[in-house]
Structure formats: structure tokens, C-alpha cells
Structure 1
């Protein structure tokens, strides 16, 4: 028969429910932004942290011995350390872009919300959850509203071009980018050859390319651009340049790089 000793009543169930609701709200926001950790991850982190706090408060009352000493704060410290492993798994580096920092921090805050709910501090848990939404929405809007300068980092975009090699397309592309207020911080060029080149070796293709009147195939370049110019206007102009085969754009960083 289940012993409904102190620590297993409606109060504790309410604290777990509060942790579930608050952490789910945080996770929903992350999920709507298509982050690597979403609704389920944040909900489980918050509820798990709350349960750990409840176990540390009530789970050892039946341990016999008058000389046995307990320190519930040790469990809280171990929760913080354990969440660090989850957060570390969400952070990754791709070339010069660091992603996942904000999501890792939100997972850490979600654990703190669950700890506060499980520790009997519902006002603090609700206040921190509200603070989370204030930070991710309010500060993002404020950052976009600030004038350029040391308070705002230029937007970063990755532009991938496929162009016909050897006809000056890359030079014209760089001129268009700089002329429209962008700084080219990285250029990575990769040669591509036409399908009928598959049976030729590298030296044979080089010799063929050096012959008058022979085409050089396509090349692919990835440009990392920084600036506040209009990316749609830039891509529209680039796509109309002679010898440009294709243009795709992706963000070099997002709000998780903060």
C-alpha cells in the first residue's frame, strides 16, 4: 500500500503541475522558432528539476539515524551541473558562426524555473518565466530598434552562387555586394565541372580548359556578407547578372549566436 507521507500530497502535485505549465510555455516558444530544443525537451527539464527538488526536500525523511545530516542544497547544485551537459550538447560551431547559445541558456533557465516551483517558490517561478518572454521578445525588438554602432551587430548572411567559371561573374558579384553596403568577410570557392567531365582526370580537365574556345564549367562560391543592405534586392540583382546560374541565401547567424 502506498504511504502518503509528507511530500506526496496535493501541494507537491501542484508544484509539479506549475513546473510543467511554465516549462511547457517556455518550450512552446522555442519550438515555434524551430530551435533544436523545443516543447518536449524544456517540459521534461522543468518537471525533472522540480521533482529533484521535491525528492531532496522530502525523500529522505525516513532514513534512520540521529547522526545522519542532510543538505538539500546539494541536490540543487547537482541539477545545475547536470543541465550544463544538456546545454553543451545544444551549442555547435559552423565555420565562424556559433549557434545554440540562447537555446542552451533557455534550457538552463527552464531548469531554474522547475527548481523554484519544486522548492515552494511559485512567485519566483512565474516571474522568471515572464522575464524569459520579456527577454526573447522585448530585447530582440529593442536591439533591432537601436541605431547602428557599438550597440548593434551587423546582420550576417551567407550567399551561395553557382556561376560559369572564367567569365568575370565573381568579380561583378563582389562589386555588387560592396556597392550595396555589404562587407564581404569570407569567400569560399569550389570548382564544379560539367557532367561530361566525369571521365576526365584533373590534368586532362586543366588542359582542356586552357584550349581556346573551351568552356570551364561551373563554380560554386559561398560569400559571408555583413551589413544592413537589402538582401532581397541584392539577390534579385545577382540573379540577373550574366553567367550567374543560381543564387541561394541563408543567415550566417541567428539569435542563438548571442
Structure 2
């Protein structure tokens, strides 16, 4: 193992450990929020990115019989491309509502933090980790308080099943110039009187109370109530 530069090993190991620790903090924040990708996923992504970066910088040029110099940018570009597939795995759509965008972005950031550590840019990696935690602690509640031009509104409807009520509900929503997406839907009631409980996310200029009054007048609609929706469905 004469081709191993033992003088660099302690530094390389320290960089990998730094990547593991920093990205574990990112994953811990996701874990505390009970997201699909948590502590282990982010730590492994960051550690792997750091190792890939170090291998591309020091690995191949040190092998016997290889005269070409290292090309770290080539492996780094492949990390950026490959991590996109992993991030896409945590994004899913549930009844037209997209979830997991923020978690996918945090995985992407963990890869960047790991690459920064592998390149020896530990202060940059620390800054990126701090900014992520700042965005989670400060920007999330701030974004919920900022006024929105088109605020999402939620209405929970209970209506008789099997009488074409949903078709009429969607027709009224369209007349009110509202964009509707189904957040959840479930059947309730007994065999004799089947009903559906539907939660709609409504976006548009029409006031929520006006929409509720219009929908409650539809034959077959038993109840209409306002429902608070999740502020950041993409989280």
C-alpha cells in the first residue's frame, strides 16, 4: 500500500466525519418534523457525497499505472445529477396535493454540504447547515404570517353518495372562479344512507363564506364547514 498517502488520511477522515455530523443535523430537523427522509438518510447522503468528492480528488491519480491527474469536477457533476433521483423518491402526490418538496431540497442540500466537506470547504458547509436550520426555525413561521395574494382555503363537505352531488359541487366551485383540489375523501354512514366526507382546498378570489353558502344550498349536501389546511403541503 505504498500508493496510500498516509499523511492525508487524518484530514480526509476528519472531513468525512464533519460531513456526517453536519448533515446529521439537517436530518435531525427533518426527523423532528416527522418527514419521510430523516436522520440516517441525510447523514448517509452527506457522508457519501464527501467520500465521492475525496475519491475523485485523491483516489485515481494515486493508483499505480495511472498517469492522468484527478478530475474532481467530473464526479461532483455526477453527484448533483444522481442525488436528484433520490430526492424525487420522497416527493409524492396525494389527491392532487404535492408533498415532500422541502425534504427533497434538504437531501439536495445535504449532498452539497458533503461535497463542500470533501473539498475541504468546512466553513462553507457549516454556513450552509446553519442557514438550513435558520430557514426551518425562522422562515417557516414567518412564511405562515406573510399575507398571500391567493390564500388557500379549506372546506369540509358531507354529502349523500351516489346522487351526482360531487359533480354539482365542482360545477358551483368553477362558477365561483375557484381552483379546487381534493385533499381527502372518505365514505361514512351506514349501508342505508351512504355519505362522503370531502375536504377541498380552494384557491381564488371568492370569499370562503360565500363559497360555503353556495355549496350548502346544493341538494344532497348535508353539511359544510371550514377546515384549516396545512400551510406548507410541499414540506
TM-score between both structures, scaled by the size of structure 2: 0.72
SS in 1 for 2:89: helix
| 1:129 counterpart residue number | 129
> Do structure 1's residue 50 and structure 2's residue 50 form an aligned pair?
yes
* CA 156–109 in structure 1, closer or farther in 2 if over 3 Å, else same: farther
Question: 8 Å contact 1:157–1:252 — kept in the other structure?
Answer: no
Contact 1:224 1:252 in 2 (8 A): no
Q: Is residue 214 of structure 2 the alignment partner of residue 218 of structure 1?
A: no
Counterpart of 1:223 in 2: which secondary structure?
strand
Q: Does 1:14 align with 2:9?
A: no
Q: What secondary structure sits across from 2:199 in the alignment?
A: strand
Deviation at 1:116, TM superposition (A): 0.3
Alignment of 1:58-207 (within 5 A): 58-65=58-65, 68-149=68-149, 154-157=151-154, 159=156, 185-186=180-181, 194-195=190-191
Give the SS at the match of 2:93.
strand
Structure 1 spans left out of the alignment, 5+ residues? 171-182, 197-216
- After superposition, residues 13-32 of structure 1 pair within 5 angstroms as 13-32=13-32
Deviation at 1:138? 2.0
* Contact 1:31–1:38 (CA under 8 A) maintained in structure 2: yes
Whether the aligned pair in 2 keeps the contact of 1:158 and 1:252 (CA below 8 Å) is no
Contact 1:88 1:104 in 2 (8 A): yes
**Residues 253, 220 of structure 1: CA spacing in aligned structure 2 closer, same or farther, 3 A cutoff?**
farther
Tell me the CA shift for residue 92 of structure 1: 1.5
- CA drift at 1:244: 6.5
Using the alignment, how far apart are the partners of 1:56 and 1:193 within structure 2? 62
- Kept in 2: contact 1:162–1:218 (CA 8 A): no
Structure 2 CA distance for aligned equivalents of residues 22 and 57 of structure 1: 21
Superposed CA offset, 1:137-182 (max 9, x none): 2222222232343xxx5245473x556679xxx9xxxxxxxxxxxx
- What is the Cα-based RMSD across aligned positions, in Å? 4.2
Which residues of structure 2 form unaligned runs of 5+? 167-177
Count of paired positions: 215
Q: 1:225 to 1:60 in 2, by over 3 A?
A: closer
3-state SS, counterpart of residue 34 of structure 1 = coil
- Residue 189 of structure 2 contacts residue 195 of structure 2 at CA under 8 Å; is this kept in 1? yes
1:132 is paired with a residue of what secondary structure? Answer: helix
* CA spacing shift, 1:61–1:186, aligned 2, 3 Å: closer
Report the counterpart of residue 254 of structure 1 in structure 2.
232
Q: 1:220/1:79 Cα in 2 relative to 1: closer, same or farther (>3 Å)?
A: same
